Amino acid sequence: MAVTYFSTNYQRSYDLRRTKFYLLPPTRLFFGKESIASLPTILEPLGRKVLLVYGGGSIKHNGIYVKLKELLSNFNVVEFGEVQSNPQISMVNAGAKICQEQGIDLVLAVGGGSVVDCAKAICAATFYDGDAWDLVLDNTKVTKALPLVAVITLAATGSEYDCGCGLSNSATHQKMAIIHPLLFPVAAICDPQYTYTVSKRQTAAGVADIISHILEQFCVKESNLIADGLCAAVMHAAVIAGKEAYADGFNYDARSNMLWASTLACNSLCGMGTSFQAWACHAIEHGLAAFYNTTHGEGLAILTPIYLRYVLSEDNAPRFAKLFAHVFDLPYGKNDLAQAQAGIKALEDLFAALNLPRTLSELNITATYFEEIATEVMTHWHLDQGMVPLGREDVIKILKRAL
Ligand code: NZQ
Ligand code: ZN
């Protein structure tokens, strides 16, 4: 659908003149049906001894484990399974110990974002003498990492094509990230066939995560035409493909579009050249996950519409109006604010259609730890530099509105 500019003040917001950026994702990306077949060729130059990291067993139900056995017959594979969602730092330490003791050459992660994230941290922790949580608290302590190959089986995080990983510490009630260039996988394999078995619940959570990644990059003080255009295109694809994949998990077209959208949504491309991105919903969701082990995308589905309503103003409405008109094929409207509000309502309707939770109460979350969560958010994130600066009280208000 053709997008109409509703306002004349949009030009102030679209400015590439004052920005510089450097972009070189070192990850080789293999996308499409049977792209898994490239695995031996990818691994060959990296070594023989492989740590295979996976989760609670989905790889044994979606056909990929059998395929791996066939493809890795010439490699010496040490298995490291049972990585849980919101991966714990204890798993990272355990994985790194195996790599150190058994002289592992490379790590192969096969699974969702939690598996890939855990594997990234294992790669770095292998070269760190101490508790891997130190690396989380101070990312500059990452000095070297084993090569990582990521085979992603869930369209959500985009972890296969970025250099971040989210890690939890149940002892301290924290969930934080390591973000370091050494954590880019050497190669990423995105074979949509292996996402067929993703449950409706995780498919929906994935849609919410992809959309949130886009909106986090979109919610900035200053953007540019290309960044906003990429955001609109990828979010639109996530909406269409996400609904179709939710309705029919074995729809290849839907699964492949969703997977490509998830890869593109979180590798910083959609936000290139913009001003500071605060990632406010992710900050708050990580705070919730630290206490309640929330499913990442579900937490975001609850927080995102509330956050958008909280920050929406006459000033930023034109950009939202334009974005949502494209993403949700909304009819032409003349009032930017009303159009933006209609877009947020369309987002809520989408989440409702995907049976995502609407409130924290549905996840049995109460206000008990809101103060602690807000403190954590303000300590480790920079919400004061976002599109609309947020302080501690704003975080608590958003959480309360989400109850
Ligand atoms: O554990 P298994 O048995 O593998 O089952 C998983 C898990 O139960 C299952 N699953 C994965 N692939 C499947 C499948 N089930 C059937 N068929 C398949 N093909 O799905 C469940 C959820 O998996 P998980 O990996 O936890 O989900 P997701 O991919 O959403 O990852 C969430 C984690 O990634 C972090 C989140 O914070 C969270 O810890 N994130 C990582 C990011 C990054 N590295 O860039 C960015 C994100 O914003 C996010 O923070
Ligand atoms: Zn996310």
**10-residue stretch averages of pLDDT, the chain, 403 residues long:** 38 62 87 97 98 97 96 98 98 98 98 98 98 98 98 98 97 96 97 98 98 98 95 98 98 98 96 95 98 98 98 96 96 86 98 98 98 97 96 98 98
Whether this model's pTM surpasses 0.85: yes
Q: Does 320 contact ligand 1 (Cβ within 6 A)?
A: no
Which atom of ligand 1 is nearest the CA belonging to 297? 30
Ligand at minimal distance from the CA of 304 is: 2
Nearest C-alpha neighbor of 32 from the set 229, 223, 272, 195: 195
Neighbours of 169 (CB within 10 A): 18
Say if residues 27 and 182 touch (Cβ distance below 8 Å). Answer: no
Question: What per-residue confidence (pLDDT) applies to 172?
Answer: 96
Pairing mode, strands 106-111 and 148-152: parallel
Ligand at minimal distance from the CA of 117 is: 1
Beta bridge partner(s), residue 53: 80, 109
The residue assigned the tokens 């490699």 is 75
Q: How many helices (H) and strands (E) would you count in the chain? A: 14, 8
Between the alpha carbon of residue 65 and those of residues 62, 110, 213, 227, the distances in Å are: 8, 9, 29, 38
Neighbours of 391 (CB within 10 A): 12
Kindly report the protein residue whose alpha carbon is nearest to atom 7 of ligand 1. Answer: 85
The alpha carbons of the chain give a radius of gyration, in whole angstroms, of 21
Question: What per-residue confidence (pLDDT) applies to 5?
Answer: 35
Say if residues 84 and 111 touch (Cβ distance below 8 Å). Answer: no
Give residue 206's Cα distance to chain centre.
Answer: 9
**CA 113 / ligand 1 centre spacing (Å):** 4
**CA 59 / ligand 1 centre spacing (Å):** 12
Question: What per-residue confidence (pLDDT) applies to 17?
Answer: 67
Kindly report the protein residue whose alpha carbon is nearest to atom 46 of ligand 1. Answer: 157
Say if residues 287 and 374 touch (Cβ distance below 8 Å). Answer: yes
